[in-house]
Structure 1
């Protein structure tokens, strides 16, 4: 087998494509496609600096295309990736959970566990522990701590939608 630059770029493209299977963000797939296109440049006999320039240009075009245009088409409806902490969760009702390994009380928002603090309590020594299953309404984040307030006793149809 002849190890010319085109073959090496194709191997890089395949490895990036395989690595994409572990992420699902389509970034590595876009980089793999850029590497495959760069293999075509190497096959045409362009020198290494031109290959690297081509890889940069292809990556600069394909990565934003994959992230901003293609990925949203494959995302489930109603899921806004990258928005946790931007305020879209404000006012949603969640149920508290207790984490197994350290007993911390928190809520799961978009699949991630966040410790909580009740908003009406003192910031330094505020209430951070609630019984599991307590309904709380998310207000904002303070770093990685979810600031919540207790939900009204009336049933909330969103409570089951946002809990896991």
Structure 2
């Protein structure tokens, strides 16, 4: 088999499509479509290398934002607001502390992600599991919390 520029772009599209199976973000799938369309343009118009790279750049520049803004939200589970963690929407919500398995770190699970915690106004970073806390803010990737009053119910875990 002879490696023409079109077969190179098709192989690239195949590899990007296979890599998408590991991520699920649809970004690599958009790049795979851009590479496949570049292969088609190369085969039809006989583009030189600079034209191939220009076509790939333009197609990726169109397909990637289109995928992220239009197509990706259709595949997201209901109730998930991507990009909201750290924007303040969690402020004031009650959480139960967790203990991470492999290192015993105390933290919170916010939007499915584990964040180590620190009690506001102190250097305390360890609390017993299932301690109810109120989220205040992030300091980097550390969740700053205050201890909740006893007897209050939890809104989120």
Match of residue 70 from structure 1: 71
1:19 corresponds to: 19
Query: CA-to-partner distance for each residue in 1:79-133, whole Å, 9 max, x for gaps?
Result: 12232212122122211011223222111112222111112x33xxx22221100
Aligned length: 156
- Structure 1: runs of 5 or more not aligned: none
Identify the residue that residue 143 of structure 1 maps to in structure 2: 140
Stretches of 4+ aligned residues off by more than 6 angstroms:
none
- Deviation of 1:157 after TM superposition, in Å, equals 5.3
**3-state SS of the aligned residue for 1:115?**
strand
For residues 49 and 135 of structure 1, the distance between their equivalents in structure 2, rounded to whole angstroms, comes to: 59
User: How big is each residue's C-alpha offset from its partner over 1:47-84, in whole Å with a ceiling of 9 and x where there is no partner?
Assistant: 11111100000000000111111111110111122322
Aligned to 1:156: 153
Other-structure match for 2:110: 109
Which position in structure 2 is the counterpart of 1:97? 98
1:7 positional shift: 1.1
SS state at 1:158 partner: coil
- Looking at structure 1, the residues matched to 109 and 143 of structure 2 have their Cα atoms a distance apart, in angstroms, of 10
Please say which of residues 64-73 and 147-156 is displaced more in the overlay. 147-156
What is the TM-score normalised by the length of structure 1? 0.88
Q: Deviations over 1:28-62 (max 9, x none)?
A: 00000000000011102111111110000000000
Structure 2-normalised TM-score? 0.92
1:83 alignment partner, SS class: coil
